[in-house]
Structure 1
Amino acid sequence: MKYTLSVLIAASIFMTGCTLQKKNTENRDYEVKLDTLTFFDQSRNRKIPVAFYYPKTNKKIPNQQIIIFNHGYGFNKGGDYFVYSYLTEKLASKGYFTVSIQHELTTDSLLPTEGNLQILRRPFWQNGSDNILFVLNELKKTKPELDYQHLILIGHSNGGDMAALFTNQHPNLVYKLITMDNRRMFLPRTSVPRVYTLRSNDYPADEGVLPNGEEQKKYHMMVQPTLINHGHMDNKGTDEEKKTLNDFVLRYLSEQ
């Protein structure tokens, strides 16, 4: 009986220590480092520029999760993988290895703005989905220590449509999907992966893109309205708007 009690006490102390250690790790803010790299997909003869935002630390972060971020439409001017740094840097400061993909190249066709956009933009989303898959497979070769069992995809607007398409096509590769006001590609109706979406106050989504109330309850999907304009979900947002979006994203990432 004494032995059993001792074991229980020791186990309790150990579990408490683990809980505190996890909490301290989550609350810690790392210094963030930025690197850039351009992948080349020979099968599509396509360059894929990426920006890596990651915590600067001499110690290995066990089970470090990876986040792939996908920007909104930037009219092919380039540099879009930097304009959400308020979020990508915040994620890296919390210990996530964050990859921001530059999906548009100056040589690409412009995104259609008239007609049935769910059909006409599908090839552009497919291109983005293919970019995500290529980058993911390359990272598995060069950074095998990352946690690929819990891949997180985040995307704003057109990038959210890309991320939604990827999740529909490769649900077994995605742990969580967070879209920021994607408007055209329907969100997967599933409880695994977990699906969250942050909505703007000025642009509605096309019919069928968002789950209805019954689907939200059935699949535990989160549709979160905000008071933020669609165009303020990148670095153009105010400090308060950026904090709101960061807080929502970090809350979703912490959910089990």
Structure 2
Amino acid sequence: MNLNAPLVLSVSLLIAGCAARTQKANQTAPTTVASALALNTTKLDLVDHARNRVIPVVLYSADSQIVDNKVNKPASKLALLNHGYGGQNTAYSFIAQNLVAHGYVVASIQHELPTDAPMATTGNLFEIRKPVWERGVQNMLFVLQEMQRRQPKLHYDQLLIVGHSNGGDMAMLFVQEHPELVQKLISLDNRRMPLPRTRKPQILTLRSSDQVADPGVLPSPAEQQTFGIQVVNLRYTQHNDMWDGATAAQKQEMNKIISSFLEN
């Protein structure tokens, strides 16, 4: 991943007055045509004792979305955000901010740990990498269960899964194995795991200008029509641009497409 410094994002559908309680991405506050919402970020180190694995998570939420057993505030929805290989769960804040503006509490999951073996880059990548995706599915299931325990008033029947690259492949495997849990699915340029050919959950995939998916990953035009799957090609955005290091124009284009998908 290209580790350029994040640029300023100003999109009408995002959040004004961004104020993080803990460490947040180095960006100015975007605006929304609705009301201003203060964006909160909270870092958690969840422990899956069954697998003896720490799962770092960054929670993004608005003040009006924080739900617990003591405060009777409006419930919201949950989105699980999954980074690309070699990335960090803090590196997609421009997407997280947009999701919060659309009523989600976002749990951005750190899938790779320093103790993990490097992912294979040669051979039959679908077969070799599938255990890594399966580990990601288990991470998502555990985070989902923890969120249900910690914030029981969220609308878990409206779960959104988002993933970039390898995280997108994890998201596709999650939906293949647990379609009943997911309402909507967004992939940013996953390349190995085929998109489910189904109307439920609803699926959007953003495709880069420089990377090609493996055969069979993307639905044909006829399948897109049959199942309502949205495949959007980004002419000016490469695979490694799909994170906070993208230009303001690239972020705006991606968030505009995501917003349209979420609002329909």
- TM-score, normalising length: structure 2: 0.83
The runs of at least 4 aligned residues of structure 1 exceeding 6 Å deviation read none
User: How many angstroms apart in 2 are the aligned matches of 1:148 and 1:169?
Assistant: 17
Match of residue 33, structure 1, among 12, 35, 40: 40
Is the 1:187–1:209 contact (alpha carbons within 8 Å) kept by the matching residues of 2? yes
* 1:192-211 Cα distance to aligned partner (Å, 9 max, x none): 11111000000000001010
Shift of 1:112: 0.6
The corresponding residue for 2:56 is 49
Shift of 1:70: 0.3
Task: Say yes or no: does 1:203 pair with 2:211.
Answer: yes
Letter in 2 for 1:30: L
Is the 2:65–2:74 contact (alpha carbons within 8 Å) kept by the matching residues of 1? no
The corresponding residue for 1:234 is 243
SS of the residue 1:66 aligns to: strand
* 1:65-93 Cα distance to aligned partner (Å, 9 max, x none): 11110000117xxxx01011111123223
Is the 2:98–2:259 contact (alpha carbons within 8 Å) kept by the matching residues of 1? no
The alignment-based identity, stated in percent, is 42
* 1:18-56 Cα distance to aligned partner (Å, 9 max, x none): xxxxxxx98334110000101111111111000000002
SS of the residue 1:179 aligns to: strand
Shift of 1:131: 0.3
User: How many angstroms apart in 1 are the aligned matches of 2:77 and 2:33?
Assistant: 13
SS of the residue 1:224 aligns to: strand
The corresponding residue for 2:256 is 247
Gaps of 5+ in 1: 1-24
Gaps of 5+ in 2: 1-31, 67-71
Letter in 1 for 2:227: Y
Letter in 1 for 2:256: D
Shift of 1:58: 8.2
The corresponding residue for 1:15 is none
Asked which structure has the greater CA Rg, the reply is 1
Alignment of 1:111-126 (within 5 A): 111-126=119-134
* 1:172-192 Cα distance to aligned partner (Å, 9 max, x none): 000001000000001111001
Is the 2:77–2:104 contact (alpha carbons within 8 Å) kept by the matching residues of 1? yes
Change (3 A) 1:58 1:223: closer
SS of the residue 1:203 aligns to: coil
User: How many angstroms apart in 1 are the aligned matches of 2:73 and 2:225?
Assistant: 35
User: How many angstroms apart in 1 are the aligned matches of 2:96 and 2:33?
Assistant: 16
The corresponding residue for 1:217 is 225
* 1:118-138 Cα distance to aligned partner (Å, 9 max, x none): 110000000000000000011
Shift of 1:94: 3.6
Alignment of 1:136-151 (within 5 A): 136-151=144-159
The corresponding residue for 2:17 is none
Is the 1:30–1:94 contact (alpha carbons within 8 Å) kept by the matching residues of 2? no
Q: Size of the alignment, in residue pairs?
A: 227
The corresponding residue for 2:11 is none
Shift of 1:62: 3.4
- TM-score, normalising length: structure 1: 0.85
User: How many angstroms apart in 1 are the aligned matches of 2:160 and 2:35?
Assistant: 20
Change (3 A) 1:161 1:63: same
